[in-house]
Copies of this chain bind each other. A is one copy, B any other.
Amino acid sequence: MPGMHPVLAGHTGFLLSRVGGKARRRFAARLADVGLNFRMWGALSVLDAEGPITQQALGRCVGIDPSSMVATIDALEAAGLVERRPHPSDRRAHALAITPAGRATLADGRRLAADAQEELLSLLSAEERGQLHQTLLKLATA
Cα distance, A26 to B14, chains bound together (Å):
11
Min CB distance A114 to B, Å, is 9
CB neighbours of A19 from chain B (8 A): 16, 20, 136, 139-140
When the two chains form the complex, which single residue of B24, B60, B136 contacts A3, counting CB atoms closer than 8 Å?
A: B60
Binding-face segment, A70-78, A83-91, A126-134: A126-134
Query: Is the pair A5, B139 in contact by a Cβ cutoff of 8 Å?
Result: no
Let me know if A12 and B129 touch, CB within 8 A: yes
Chain A positions within 8 Å of B, measured between CB atoms, are 1-9, 11-24, 26-27, 38, 42, 45-46, 48-50, 60-63, 113, 116-117, 120-124, 128-129, 131-133, 135-142
Asked if residues B141 and A2 are in contact (CB atoms below 8 Å), the reply is yes
Question: A8 is contacted by which of B12, B13, B46 (Cβ under 8 Å)?
Answer: B46
B12 and A61 form a contact (CB under 8 A): no
Contacts of A50 in B (CB 8 A): 5
Q: Given the complex, which residues of B lie within 8 Å of A142, measured CB to CB?
A: 122-123
Cα–Cα, bound, A142→B2 (Å): 8
Which residues from B are CB-within-8-Å of A6?
49
